[in-house]
Amino acid sequence: MSMTSQMPEELRNECGTWATKLEGRLDERECIAFVRRALPRLLEQRELFQNVLQNIASAAPYPDTRRSTLFENELILYIHEQSLFSLRMLMSRSGEHTPIHDHNAWGVIAPLTGILGVTTYERMDDGTREGIADIRRKSHRVLHPGDTEDVLPLNRGIHRTGNEGGDILVMVSVYGKPVRRPYVLEFNMEEGRTVPIYTPRTRKRILAREVLDTWKGSYRT
């Protein structure tokens, strides 16, 4: 059974409308502007998201909590069949933050509940040295329900998000069509280094290939 068929009807219809609006829009500014208007209206449907959260709490089939994501507290609510955009939810306790990281697509993020802190960073080096990065803090915003923040791809969108309130933060995000890269970069500001973050599924595949390559090399010797 597909994810779309399991979705609440209101959410399925909304995502269908978004797909129609976003299809053919190549300018990321237009896409972001549309989602910044549409996402807060969707998040006003409290009963819809209460039902989604109840599904998560009761281990219902939708959304699939076993599906591989970059962060363990993130869930996928919708992915367009041509990867035009995805709708995701991330939950965190007070004081929890993501690592500093970039993204593979434009996006819009917003809190459904709680207080969302967003810190952005600027890359100072040219990115030609693999695993090395010089970044500095650029801005910080505190978002409440009804507020949104843009996300830009790759070096233009380096940021860190987290729960800056006392209650559980539920952040809902929309990301556009990703670039062809199977990871996002995590930035260690103190050490000036980067490391790729893979989904657990992708990381397992990479490790298995590395083991096989090692075995092949040992057979040749």
Give the C-alpha separation, 209 to 182, whole Å: 15
- 179: nearest Cα among 204, 154, 202: 154
pLDDT for 2 equals 76
Lowest mean pLDDT among 50-59, 163-172, 190-199, 212-221: 212-221
**Each residue's pLDDT tens digit, 180-206:** 888 999 999 999 999 999 999 999 999
Q: In what order do the strands lie in the sheet with 74-79?
A: 74-79, 85-92, 169-176, 107-113, 149-151
Q: Where are the domains of the chain?
A: 3-220
Helix (H, G, I), strand (E, B) or coil at 68: coil
Pick the CATH number of 3-220 from 1.20.1250.20, 3.30.70.980, 3.30.1130.10, 2.60.120.10: 2.60.120.10
Average pLDDT of the residues of the chain: 94
**Each residue's pLDDT tens digit, 81-92:** 999 999 999 999
Give the C-alpha separation, 150 to 114, whole Å: 18
Task: Tell me the pTM.
Answer: 0.92
- Matching residue, tokens 């939810």: 89
- 158: nearest Cα among 117, 133, 121: 121
- 159: nearest Cα among 126, 192, 122, 191: 122
